[in-house]
A and B are shown apart, each in its own frame.
Chain A
């Protein structure tokens, strides 16, 4: 069946780059998403990438897609304390999004 996997935690120093990784199983997925959930808040769409793209950049965010390995990553440059959140990876399934468990990004001063 469809499955999306992520590490549960990532700890980085403020100012460093954060790389959050995700693997998925459905090679026919057309869209892959990154959502951000700040403490006590709902999920916010951060960015998404279409399956025919390898990379998408949006300011400090870079999404890399390796379709052969079914691997998706989100790189946050110059990580700030405001980036502290849980980041969810999701792939588009038939009728719904298939969600990862979320990666909690912890920022060390």
Chain B
């Protein structure tokens, strides 16, 4: 019974391509997040949705577009991928804003 799941686990693609990462949580949480973890393991929040509404939108290129079709899903679409987008992307969820977060296993994106 996976609480927070992400697909795909690995993603290798060419520069300039468009790709999507999907996230689903079965915890009944209201809030979901996307994080980017770089090669130095720094964790940076990108977006947060609460009840399908965008709450946090940090300084992220507009090539990144989150979409929340329902409370249990928060997908991340990336247009025109660049080398610097290579990182591990984590999805997380919490019962409400700022509460304890539960993480997915991560999606390792490599842009060639």
Any A CB within 8 A of the CB of B102: yes
Known contacts A41-B105, A45-B102, A48-B100; is-contact A96 B42 (Cβ 8 Å): no
Size class of the B contact interface (CB-based, 8 Å): 20 to 34
Q: Does B98 sit at the interface, judged by CB under 8 A?
A: yes
Residues A42 and B106 in contact, CB atoms below 8 Å apart: yes
Indicate the size class of the contact surface on chain A.
20 to 34
A68-108 to B contact mask, C-beta < 8 Å, 1/0: 00000000000000000010100011111101011010000
A43-B90, A96-B56 given; A86·B41 CB < 8 A: yes
Q: Which residues of B contact A (CB under 8 A)?
A: 33, 40-43, 45, 48, 55-56, 90, 92, 97-106
Could you jot down 17 A-B contacts, CB within 8 Å?
A: A37-B41, A41-B105, A41-B106, A42-B90, A43-B43, A86-B41, A92-B98, A95-B48, A95-B56, A95-B97, A96-B45, A96-B48, A96-B56, A96-B98, A101-B40, A102-B43, A104-B41
